[in-house]
Amino acid sequence: MDFLGKVVDKVTDWLIESVVQEIGYFFTYESNITSLDNEFERLENIRSGVQLRGEATRRNLHVISPNIQDWSTRVDTITADVATILRRRAEVERGCFYGWCSNLKSCYLQSKRSKEIVMDVIGLQTEGNNYVNFSYPVPPVEVEAIPSHTGEEFDSRKLQEEEVMAALRDGGVTLLGYMV
C-alpha cells in the first residue's frame, strides 16, 4: 500500500504542476509577449553584428563558415515566427475589454507559443555570440598547365638546346651554365 501511495503522490504532483503551468499562460500573457519582444530585439542586434562581421570577412576574401549560414537561416525562421506572433497580438488585444480577453483560446495559444519562441531566441543569442570559427580562407584556385603539342619550337631556343646537349656530350666540360 505504501508503494501505491508514493506512485499516486508522484502522479498527482506531476498533474498539478502541468495544470498550473498551462493555466499560467493565461496570466502571463503580457509578460510573455514583452519578454519575446525584448529578447527578439537583442537577437536582432546580434544578427546585425554577425552580418557586419560577415561583410568584413567577404572583403578579406574569406569564406563564411557553414555554421554561421545555418544560424542565419534559423534566425530568419524565428523572425517570421515572431512577426506572426506580434501581428496576432493586435488581433487578440482587440477582443479584450479592460484586460479581460473574450477569446481565451487565442490568448492561451499566443502566450504559450511566445514562451517557446523566447527559449529558441535565447538559444540563438547564445550561439550567435559564441562563434569562434567564423570564417575560413578561400581555398586557392587550382592552376592547371595546358601543354601545347603543336610541335612548334622557336629557332633561338632550339639552337640553345643543341648547344647545351653538345656541351653535355663533351667529356672535357666540367661546369655547365645556362642563362635565360
Rounded CA separation 144/141 (Å) = 10
And the C-alpha cell for 163? Answer: 648547344
Q: Which of 78, 73, 70, 72 is nearest to 113 (CA)?
A: 78
Q: Which of 121, 46, 37 is nearest to 83 (CA)?
A: 37
The kind and range of the H/E element at 111 are helix 104-129
Contacting residues for 117 by C-beta, under 8 A, at least 6 apart: 36, 78, 81, 82, 85
- Per-position pLDDT tens, the chain of length 180: 677 777 767 777 776 777 667 777 767 778 888 898 999 999 999 999 888 888 888 888 888 888 888 989 999 999 999 999 888 877 776 665 555 555 677 778 888 888 899 999 999 888 888 876 667 777 777 777 676 666 566 777 788 888 888 888 887 777 767 666
**Could you tell me how many residues make up the chain?**
180
Q: What confidence score (pLDDT) does residue 97 get?
A: 57
